[in-house]
Structure 1
Amino acid sequence: MGFGGYLKEAIHAARFPTPTHFARTVGMDPSVVLRWISEEQRPTIRSIERIAPALGRSINELVVAAYPDRIGGPAPQPPPAHPLVHDLALMLADDSPIPAADRQALATVLDRMIDPYRKVLRRRRSA
């Protein structure tokens, strides 16, 4: 996975609804973030310093992801996902056969169940 995929997953994991939302939150032009995701360009170190806290990631982690060729190693890979992650992604997708009202109810219940753990996970990731 390149930096674009890594960044897209990090934005989603940080609970931003869209990359544009993330860009506006960190005070950047959305087109810049979209160029990073499409891998047309890589972020500067100054940009990495700016976005790392919002993503709950360390500056070093983002530098390694953005510039693996310059530090002599591959980009960090996210830990393997639990098998339920794939099932939930299919169930909650826009093209899921599950009725929209049921998908929304499932998303609401899951969101409420995991919400207490989000702060704990953010602290652990940024440490």
Structure 2
Amino acid sequence: MNFGGYLRGAIHAAGFPTPTHFARAVGTDPSVVLRWLSGEQRPTIRSIERIAPVLGRSINELVLAAYPDRLGAEKAPEPAAHPLVQELGRILADDSPIPAADREALETVLDRMIDPYRKVLRRRRSA
């Protein structure tokens, strides 16, 4: 994954509906954020220092994501999953203290709720 993909995931995980909302929150022009997302430009260290806390990431993590070629890394790290994803993983795990019947019911409900979005997400990724 390149920095643009990493940043897109981090912006989404931080709860911003669009890159423009994120840009406004960090005091950066939206066109700059769009250049970061497209890979046309990478953020400066000063920009990274400003955006890291807003994204809930460390400065080191963002530097590694933006400049893997300079730090000996092959690619940007994957953004951390949304906290709900992590919580659901624990709830639905085989070793969860939740009764198996409740886990199965929750899994069925979630599967049905998510199903309409699967086509949309597949199209977006392949575009």
TM interval, shorter chain, is 0.5 to 0.7
Give the partner amino acid of 2:28.
M
Over 3 Å counting, the alpha-carbon distance change for 1:53 and 1:72 in structure 2 is: same
* Residue 116 (structure 2) pairs with residue 91 (structure 1): yes
Structure 2: distance between partners of 1:41 and 1:91: 35
What corresponds to 1:29 in structure 2?
A: 29
2:41 equivalent in structure 1: 41
TM-superposed CA distance for 1:89, in Å, is 5.9
Equivalent residues in 2 for 1:10-89, closer than 5 Å: 10-74=10-74, 75-78=76-79
Amino acid at match of 2:50: R
Question: 1:90 offset after TM fit, Å?
Answer: 5.3
Query: CA–CA distance in 2 between the matches of 1:58 and 1:12?
Result: 17
Q: Deviations over 1:30-83 (max 9, x none)?
A: 00000000000000000000000000000000000000000001321246876x
Partner-residue secondary structure (3-state), 1:68:
coil
Structure 2 residue identity aligned to 1:76: P
Please tell me the residue identity of whatever aligns with 1:2.
N
Closer, same or farther: CA 86–69 of 1 in aligned 2, 3 Å: farther
Give the Cα–Cα distance (whole angstroms) in 1 for the partners of residues 111 and 31 of structure 2: 29
Going from structure 1 to structure 2, the CA distance change for 1:90 and 1:60 (only over 3 Å counts) comes to: farther
Q: In 1, distance between residues paired with 2:4 and 2:17? A: 16
What residue ranges of structure 1 are gaps of 5+ in the alignment? 97-127
1: CA distance between counterparts of 2:42 and 2:111? 29
Q: CA deviation at 1:91?
A: 2.6
Question: What number of residue pairs does the alignment pair up?
Answer: 95
Change beyond 3 A, Cα 1:87–1:72: farther
The normalised TM-score by structure 1 is 0.64
Give me the identity figure in percent: 67
Contact 2:35/2:41, CA 8 A, preserved across alignment: yes
For 2:116, give the aligned amino acid: M
| SS of equivalent to 2:69 | helix
Distance in 2 separating the partners of 1:2 and 1:87: 32
Q: CA RMSD in A?
A: 2.9
Structure 1 residue 88 displacement after superposition: 6.2
